[in-house]
């Protein structure tokens, strides 16, 4: 009996994905567990394994690379020798019946298989999708990434087009106070008004005259929204709609944290040297052992708390060219600090080279996001569903503070905790933030107690 090959669900909210390519040829023998095709779901591409064995049937109307496919859609079949595959309909295309002849040699591939098995330039799935959206052929590009890999910047540089500005559009840099006031009242940008005064000065009459003149046609063009950007947008909206978010912010002394990392750097022991984010991931994981409610996951209306310290997986927000992704550090509470640093470094590298998998982003119970490197002091992070809380890290800044009636220079930073008030009340959340603050202010004692 033919076995249907369907599009699986790669994430809790996934309803559709992007078909990337077949990894097997039409007529090829496939064993259970073999990588069958590549599918891009919520923020990551993943090789989909066969769950049965047989000869692969790829119909002529199978999805092409880059096609959006719905979860559960049938895109092919696995059959026994000589067995005919039923018709497969994709979208509005006509159904086609494909079969494998009873022979040991693979049959000639269908047109769909020919297209999908052609060798493509080295590029991440998200980069290939961007090229399709911008109408850029990857084969015509020379990659600037490692080993000639094509990056998103290569595609954008090739696909960009200079904008045009109307020849009669004159920007004035001078306007009279009356002209500015009238422009504000009328809702007119006086900088776009052609001045008739001395040296092109914009006067009141120029503003009022421009109001009656037809405005030049807009030169703006619509922005192409990638499927990853849509996924991020949908998840952000879902987070706001399904949670009762409250954000608590506190200012802490990070002098000892800075000193500890400096000691790691000076000692030169261990590779890689733990970053500030690595240290805080470890400290937050230890704090969650004392406050497990903040690590609750909302699983279909059931609130699940980690059963043990080994179940504390911490997500870290990573900024990439194609949008935000949140890889997950496994066993953060029990993992050694240097092993944790190696894991985060590997996850960040995979995220920024487009090699992150869905498995690398699953199981998180708490997320940390750091905007300190951008000079941000405090912000309001958004909860990463189905988690309960997220911690935002601000920049570390040397500031004067009063200690024992003396003004001294100390390293200060802000922490912003957003939590779901449906699950956690304000006081328990505040106590957790207190614990995290104490851990960061005295990291050595906490890390030694955590068996780093």
Torsions phi, psi for 174 (to 5 deg)? -130, 135
**Residue 355, Ramachandran bin (φ over 0: left; ψ between -120 and 50: alpha; else beta):** alpha
Structure tokens, 375: 């000079």
CA dist 179 and 172 (Å) reads 12
421 is an active site residue: yes
**Could you tell me the strand order of the sheet in which 54-57 lies?**
3-6, 74-79, 54-57, 29-30
Annotated active-site residue in 114, 189, 310, 421: 421
CB 315 within 8 A of CB 325: no
26 is an active site residue: no
Cα pseudo-dihedral 272, 276, 278, 279, rounded to 10: 110
Torsions phi, psi for 99 (to 5 deg)? -145, 160
Cα radius of gyration rounded to whole Å, the chain? 28
If we measure between CA atoms, which residue out of 407, 410, 420, 404 comes closest to residue 440? 410
CA dist 363 and 271 (Å) reads 26
Strand bridging mode 35-40 / 45-49: antiparallel
CA dist 315 and 325 (Å) reads 9
If we measure between CA atoms, which residue out of 295, 297, 278 comes closest to residue 393? 278
∠41-47-51 over CA atoms, to 5°?
A: 105
Instruction: Give the residue numbers marked as catalytic.
Output: 421, 425
């Amino acid at each position: 009996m033919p076995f249907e090959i369907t599009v699986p669900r790669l994430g809790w909210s996934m309803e559709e994905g992007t078909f990337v390519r077949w990894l097997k040829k039409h007529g090829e023998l496939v064993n259970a567990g073999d990588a069958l095709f590549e599918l891009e779901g919520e923020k990551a591409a993943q090789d989909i394994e066969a769950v049965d064995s047989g000869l692969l049937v790829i119909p002529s109307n199978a999805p092409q690379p880059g096609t959006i496919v719905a979860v559960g859609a049938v895109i092919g079949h696995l059959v026994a020798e000589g067995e005919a595959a039923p018709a497969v309909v994709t979208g509005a295309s006509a159904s086609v019946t494909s079969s494998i002849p009873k022979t040991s040699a693979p049959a000639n591939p269908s047109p769909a298989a020919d297209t999908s098995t052609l060798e493509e330039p080295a590029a991440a799935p998200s980069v290939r999708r961007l090229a399709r959206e911008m109408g850029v052929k990857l084969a015509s590009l020379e990659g600037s990434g490692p080993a000639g890999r094509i990056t998103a910047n290569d595609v954008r540089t090739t696909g960009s087009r200079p904008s045009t500005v109307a020849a009669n559009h004159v920007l004035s840099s001078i306007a009279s106070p009356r002209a500015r006031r009238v422009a504000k009242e009328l809702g007119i940008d006086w900088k776009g008004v052609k001045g008739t005064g001395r040296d092109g000065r914009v006067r009141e009459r120029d503003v009022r005259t421009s109001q009656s003149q037809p405005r030049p046609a807009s030169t703006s063009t619509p922005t192409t929204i990638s499927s990853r950007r849509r996924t991020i947008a949908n998840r952000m909206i879902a987070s706001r709609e399904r949670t009762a978010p409250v954000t608590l912010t506190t200012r802490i002394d990070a002098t000892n944290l800075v000193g500890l990392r400096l000691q790691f750097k000076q000692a030169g022991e261990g590779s890689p040297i733990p970053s500030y984010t690595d240290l805080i991931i470890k400290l937050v994981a230890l704090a969650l052992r004392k406050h497990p409610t903040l690590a609750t996951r909302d699983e279909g209306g059931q609130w699940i708390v980690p059963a043990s310290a080994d179940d504390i997986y911490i997500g870290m927000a990573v900024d990439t060219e194609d949008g935000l992704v949140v890889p997950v550090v496994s066993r953060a509470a029990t993992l050694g600090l240097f092993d944790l640093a190696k894991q985060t470094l590997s996850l960040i590298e995979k995220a920024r080279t487009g090699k992150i998998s869905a498995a690398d982003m699953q199981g998180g119970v708490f997320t940390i996001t750091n905007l300190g490197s951008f000079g941000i002091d405090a912000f309001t992070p958004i909860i990463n569903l189905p988690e309960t809380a997220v911690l935002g890290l601000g920049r570390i800044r040397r500031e004067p503070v009063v200690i024992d009636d003396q003004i001294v220079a100390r390293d200060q930073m802000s922490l912003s905790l957003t939590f779901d008030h449906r699950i956690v009340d304000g006081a328990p959340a505040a106590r957790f933030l207190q614990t995290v603050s104490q851990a960061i202010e005295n990291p050595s004692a906490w890390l030694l107690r955590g068996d780093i």
